[in-house]
Chain A
Amino acid sequence: DGGITQSPKYLFRKEGQNVTLSCEQNLNHDAMYWYRQDPGQGLRLIYYSQIVNDFQKGDIAEGYSVSREKKESFPLTVTSAQKNPTAFYLCASSLTGTDEKLFFGSGTQLSVL
């Protein structure tokens, strides 16, 4: 079945540590996205990528980094510069047409030890 796989489901970060969240899709979508979800708030866009080897900052990119070396993969690194990383992280993908639906992975819950 086609879909988006995020791993791990739960992740714990120590102070000063960088951690990487994995996102893989087999939907043959060109566009991929990372969103952050905090309790009681809407999702906020961290980074997005329309094609391989190109990505753009979203609204809250500070303290995060991404790469897009393969169409299927869009890993997100939460760096030590992100001072409040505890949140639910969601990866999404879509085709690049005007009215295309977003498809989401099942998310990664990141907590600080």
Chain B
Amino acid sequence: KQEVTQIPAALSVPEGENLVLNCSFTDSAIYNLQWFRQDPGKGLTSLLLIQSSQREQTSGRLNASLDKSSGRSTLYIAASQPGDSATYLCAVRRDNYGQNFVFGPGTRLSVLP
């Protein structure tokens, strides 16, 4: 059974710092992995999708990497801003029928001005 964990559960950093969020999964047979952002009381917004054959994806100040063999993904945020404060969730797609994702519990990020 696929399980996804995220460490740390919460993180507080001063503005301008570069930071890394971690995602681990137990079964390396995944189709892809997505990183999402969730603001309090809101839905999720997809940030980056990494296909199983890819090693990383970049969008602006965000860079996500994937190491299937070790069951790990990282989300790197450069030059963090207060507007980056949110919960970040990773999710792995587990089969080829539908977007059946297994989600991690998320990392709650606070960027202090």
Contact = CB atoms under 8 A, between A and B. Distances in A.
A45 B101 contact: yes
In which size bucket is the chain A interface? 20 to 34
Nearest to A50: B98
A53 interface: no
Interface stretch (B36-44, B62-70, B72-80): B36-44
A98 B31 contact: yes
A40 B105 contact: yes
B49 interface: yes
B7 to A, nearest CB: 13
B105 A104 contact: no
Contacts of A31: 98-99
A102 B41 contact: no
B42 A102 contact: no
A102 B34 CA distance: 9
Nearest to B94: A45
A100 B93 CA distance: 10
B24 interface: no
A43 B103 contact: yes
A84 interface: no
A106 B4 CA distance: 23
Given A102-B44, A107-B42, A50 B101 contact: no
Contacts of A4: 43
Interface of A: 4, 6, 31, 33, 35, 40-45, 48, 50, 56, 58, 88, 90, 92, 94, 96, 98-107, 109
18 contacts: A4-B43, A31-B98, A33-B98, A40-B105, A42-B104, A43-B44, A43-B101, A44-B103, A45-B101, A48-B99, A92-B99, A96-B98, A98-B32, A102-B34, A102-B46, A102-B99, A104-B36, A107-B43
